[in-house]
A = this chain, B = another copy of it.
Amino acid sequence: MIIREAVLGDEGAIMHLIHELAIYEKAPEEVFATAEDIRHSLFQEHPVAFCHVVEVDGQVVGIALWFLNYSTWLGKPGLYLEDLFVLEDHRGHGYGMALLKKLAAIAVDRGYDRFQWWVLDWNQPSIDLYKRMGAEPMDEWTTFRLSGDALRKFAQ
């Protein structure tokens, strides 16, 4: 098993795992991205997102896709994990944990003080794991999203 940065050519495998994650999250119809979108996002001159992959026998079996957020109180970026997923047949080997540790190490190396992500409230096994890792639930906060028609209407 190796963990490495995603490279040009991985976009198809990454897109496959994004689809599998959406199925796991019971919302496959909400995926509109294409492999071309992922290629552009990750590998353009100034990428808007980053991805690390787990490779086993030449196959990408896990991904951690992340971007930089920003804390005004700290005055610096933090690392935000958007998607973490390991193919079902490859679970139980600690690959997800290895990806999390890799991202944590990147955050520490760069002097970021925060590593964040969110989790569905029904995903108790993950919540238990994250608490054991020392992560804190930001229980006092709720994210709001303005999108689609409501966004366009509000913007006028």
Say yes or no: B67 contacts A69, CB within 8 Å. yes
Kindly state whether residue A58 has any CB partner on chain B within 8 Å.
no
Q: Mark A137-148, 1 if CB is under 8 A from B, else 0.
A: 111111111111
Q: Which of A34, A69, A116, A146 has the most CB of B within 10 A?
A: A146
- Residues of chain B with a CB closer than 8 A to A70's CB: 41, 48-49, 65, 67, 82
The chain B residue sitting closest to A113, CB to CB, is B147
Say yes or no: A76 contacts B37, CB within 8 Å. yes
The distance in angstroms between the C-alpha atoms of A122 and B30, with both chains bound, is 31
Q: Which residues of A are interface residues toward B (Cβ below 8 A)?
A: 18, 21-22, 27, 30-34, 37-38, 41, 46, 48-49, 65, 67-77, 80, 82-83, 100-101, 104-105, 107-108, 113-122, 127, 130, 133-148, 150-155
Q: Is the interface of A mostly helix, strand, loop or mixed?
A: mixed
Q: A31 CB to closest chain B CB, in angstroms? A: 5
Say yes or no: A155 contacts B116, CB within 8 Å. no
The distance in angstroms between the C-alpha atoms of A71 and B101, with both chains bound, is 22
Contact of A130 among B130, B134, B144 (CB under 8 A): B144
Contact of A145 among B41, B75, B138 (CB under 8 A): B138
- Residues of chain B with a CB closer than 8 A to A21's CB: 72
Known: A142-B119, A146-B116. A155 touches B104 (CB 8 A): yes
Q: A104-B154, A107-B151 are in contact. List 5 more A-B contacts (CB 8 A).
A: A18-B73, A46-B46, A115-B151, A117-B144, A120-B140
